[in-house]
Chains A and B, each alone.
Chain A
Amino acid sequence: EVQLVESGGGLVQPGGSLRLSCAASGFTFSTYWMSWVRQAPGKGLEWVANIKQDGSVRYYVDSVRGRVTISRDDAKNSLYLQMNSLRGDDTAVYFCARGGKYGRVIDFWGQGTLVTVSS
C-alpha cells in the first residue's frame, strides 16, 4: 500500500523557519518525481515545488523561490521542504505528493501537515 506521511508542521512566527518531512512507503521512491502542494485555509490547491528522481532538477513556484528548498533522501525514502523567511501567506496545509515518472501528474497525495505563520 502506497503511503506518504508528512510531519514537521506547526506554529511559527513570521520570519521563522520550518522543515517539513515526508516518509514514503509502498513504492520504489527513487523512481518517482516528488512534489509539495499547499492549500491555504478554505482555498484551492497551489503547487509549491518538485524534484526529479535523482535530485538533479528542482522547480519552485515564484512565490517561494529563494525562501524554500526541496530535497530528498532516497536511502531513507524521504522528501523534505526547508522553509525560511516564512510569511503569513505561507499558512496552509502542505501535502507531500508523488509526481509520477515525469513530474507532471500527481498520482498520490499524503494527508498533509498544517503550517501556521502567526505572531
Chain B
Amino acid sequence: EIVMTQSPATLSVSPGERATLSCRASQSVGDNLAWYQQRPGQAPRLLIYGASTRVTDVPARFIGSGSGTEFTLTISSLQSEDFALYYCQQYNNWPPLTFGGGTKVEIK
C-alpha cells in the first residue's frame, strides 16, 4: 500500500498571500495524483488530477506540480473561500486508493 504524507498539518495564511501545501508518496506514483478541497460541513471537491490538470471551473490560482514522490499544491493568492481542508490522493497503485492525512488552511 502506498502511504501518502501531507505537510504541514495546519497552514496559517493571510488573505491574499500564497499557500504552499506538500504531499509525499512512499513510492513513486508517477503523475497519478489528485487534490481535493473540503470546506467545513461539505463534501470534498476534486480540484486537480494528473498532478497538475485543473478541473473545469477551478480558479487558475490553484496550481498543482510535481511527479514521482513529491507534489505541491500552490494557491497563489488566498481568497476567503479557499480556507479549507486539502487532501491529496494517489491512484497509481491501487487498490487501495490512498489519501494523505490532509492540510488545513486557516486564516492567520
A contact set with B: CB distance below 8 Å: 35, 44-47, 50, 59-62, 95, 103-112
A2 to chain B, nearest CB (A): 12
Given the interface contacts A59-B96, A105-B46, does A44 sit within 8 Å of B91 by beta carbon? no
Inter-chain CB contacts under 8 Å: number:
58
B99 and A44: CB pair below 8 A? Answer: yes
Do A59 and B95 form a contact, CB below 8 Å, given A44-B101, A45-B87? yes
Shortest distance from the beta carbon of B58 to any chain A beta carbon, whole Å: 12
Asked if B74 is at the interface of the complex by the 8 Å CB criterion, the answer is no
Q: What are 15 of the A-B contact pairs (CB < 8 Å)?
A: A44-B99, A44-B101, A44-B102, A45-B87, A45-B99, A45-B102, A47-B99, A59-B96, A61-B96, A104-B32, A104-B94, A105-B91, A106-B89, A111-B42, A111-B43
Residue of A nearest to B102 (CB): A44
CB of B24, distance to nearest CB on chain A (Å):
15
Where chain B touches its partner, the secondary structure class is loop
Question: Which residues of chain B have a CB within 8 Å of any CB of chain A?
Answer: 32, 34, 36, 38, 42-46, 49, 55, 87, 89, 91, 94-102
Cα A111 to Cα B44 with chains together (Å): 9
Q: A45 and B44: CB pair below 8 A?
A: yes
What's the least CB distance linking B44 to chain A, in Å? Answer: 5
Residue among A45, A50, A110, A111 with the highest chain B CB neighbour number at 10 A: A45
Please measure, in the bound complex, the distance between the C-alpha atom of A54 and the C-alpha atom of B100, giving whole angstroms.
30
By a CB distance below 8 angstroms, the chain B residues around A47 are 89, 95-99
Complex: how many Å from CA A62 to CA B1? 10
Asked whether A44 lies within 8 Å of B87 as measured between CB atoms, the reply is: yes
Max chain A CB contacts within 10 Å: which of B43, B46, B91, B102?
B43
Docked Cα-Cα span, A52 to B97, in Å, equals 14
A109 touches B32 (CB 8 A): no
Given contacts A45-B44, A60-B95, A110-B43, contact A105 B49 (CB under 8 A): yes
